[in-house]
Amino acid sequence: MRGLNRTRKLKLDHPGLDTAATRDGARLLIQNDIGTNDAHVLVIQMEGLSITLTYSDLHERRFAFFQELLSEIGAQWSGVGARRSAGLNAGADYVVGTARFDCADAGAADAVLEGLGARIVFLIDWNRARKRLNRLVAKPLSVAVLIEAAHREAGHMGWLMAGAEQLVFDAMEALSPDHFRVGDRLDGVLGEAEARDFLTEALVLSSNAMQAGQTAALVADQIRLLLSRHVGRHRDEFALLGEHAAFCQALAEGIRDALAHGHETDVKAARKLSERAKVWERKADHLVMRLRDQAAGNARWLPFLRLIECADDAADELEEAVFVLSLIAEHDHHGWNDELRAALRRLADKVLDAAQDHVKALAVARTLNEASLAEDQDEFLAACWRVVNAEKLCDALTRDVRRLFVRHVSDAAALSLGTDFAAALEASTDALLRTGYAMRGLVFTRVGADHQGRRA
């Protein structure tokens, strides 16, 4: 059977596998002692078009890794659990489970056998690779890297043979001290997502290099360039601020649209917006936490941390405004006339303008340096000053709204909620204004201009 031949070849090509196979008529049995431990064994049986694989492993993480890989090709697992047997694994627990494949025809059975062979090889030295990755990133991230590399059909042997974690440490040391310090972990500096992507690419690169017969020295150079690209991508200090600003804009746009469509009287629509706003606000909070982690490892991030913390006050106020709007939708709207609704819409429109100009200012700021063109610098300043003007106008509009609520709304709860809603909107522009002043200070430093930090 073609699948069997390829499966056996894949295993026999690797010295870490001790393979025994027998075939009796329509019944096939393959047994592998994967490692040196007597509890790390797999047995494949095939009767007709039914294939079962029984797998035992002393490492729970490696078992879960293999279980996930086989589930992707249709394995139905059963009997998974910890066992203890006298004379095996020195009497300690190990994990056992059985994967079953019911194939429709010989072609499907061929595909399953090939899939099994292609995945079994990833078990070789898996735990050694995981431990070496643990020196660079947290344990769960190490497993995630091995899983993603396997999904991309790249093993870890090339990386191990080329130098493993020392390849990465050498690449980190080759970069300037502004990027890494002695003792830094990769995920502590780059963040989990960037570190996972880099290490996955490093394993893929090393695997391809090994298959192409490239030298370890060439692989080391490639890893150094790869890390430099990831660090360059990560060093865009304004990237997280830009993501955060997008959530502020989404919140402000949601409020503007809600008032435009009369959702202050639609309980279902207002609650739905409130739920979405809470999700956006939490995602914005996570960006703050990510930047806080980066600032803890490198002081150059501190000014950007202060910037995003200031901007997060705007996100909090906007989410609060959405929540209050959901409460307003549940109450009597006696006194809410066209004049009051128009005033609220004007306020919401101007808040959205401020949020949009905040996004624009950040987009331009991330490109500015001493060599920037004068028109780019002017565009940045224009966006900042539009935020200043929007904050001033929102102060006046909020007073107009309060005056109209006092004049037309007599219910105490409705009056309180309405003025709280307007106050939260106005407070969001205060936060955007403070963020804008802090951002101007950073940009003026970047372009080499003196900055007094005076408030307009």
CA-closest candidate to residue 167, choices 205, 194, 193: 205
What domains can you pick out in the chain, each with its CATH number?
Answer: 2-124 (3.90.1150), 127-234 (no CATH), 239-446 (1.20.58.220)
- Dihedral through CA 218, CA 223, CA 225, CA 227, nearest 10? -170
Q: Is the pLDDT of residue 235 over 60?
A: no
DSSP structure string for 94-143: EEEEEEEEE-SSHHHHHHHHHHHHHHHGGGTTHHHHHHHHHTTS-HHHHH
Q: What's the pLDDT at 352? A: 96
Dist. CA 65–CA 52, nearest whole Å: 18
Burial-class residue 329 by CB neighbours within 10 Å (0-12, 13-18, 19+).
buried
Q: What is the pLDDT of residues 261-288, one digit of tens each?
A: 999 999 999 999 999 999 999 999 999 9
The proportion of the chain whose per-residue pLDDT surpasses 70, expressed as a percent, equals 83
Give, to the nearest 10 degrees, the angle between helix 374-408 and helix 338-365: 160
Q: What is the rounded CA–CA span in Å between residue 229 and residue 222?
A: 11
Can you read off the two tokens belonging to residue 144? 């995630």
The neighbour count for residue 48, using CB atoms within 10 Å, is 10
* Residue count (the chain): 456
CA 356 to chain centre: 25
Distance CA 119, CA 70 (A): 8
Residue type, 299: A
Read off the pLDDT of each residue in 233-247 and give the average, rounded to a whole number.
78
Bridge partners of residue 81, in order along the sequence: 96
Measured distance CA(219)–CA(291) in Å, rounded: 32
Judge whether 398 and 390 are in contact, CB under 8 Å.
Answer: no
Among residues 401, 404, 419, 398, the alpha carbon closest in space to that of 335 is found at 404
Give the SS3 label for residue 157. helix
pLDDT tens per residue, range 375-400: 878 888 899 999 999 999 999 999 99
One-letter amino acid at 405 equals F
Closest CA to 79 of 103, 54, 62: 54
**Which is nearest to 31 in space by CA: 120, 150, 128, 92?**
120
Could you tell me the pLDDT band of residue 432, with boundaries at 50, 70 and 90?
Answer: very high
- % pLDDT > 90, the chain: 36
Dump pLDDT digits (tens) for 182-210: 667 787 777 777 788 889 999 999 999 88
Average pLDDT over residues 224-236: 74
Task: Give the confidence band of 26 by pLDDT, cuts at 50, 70, 90.
Answer: very low
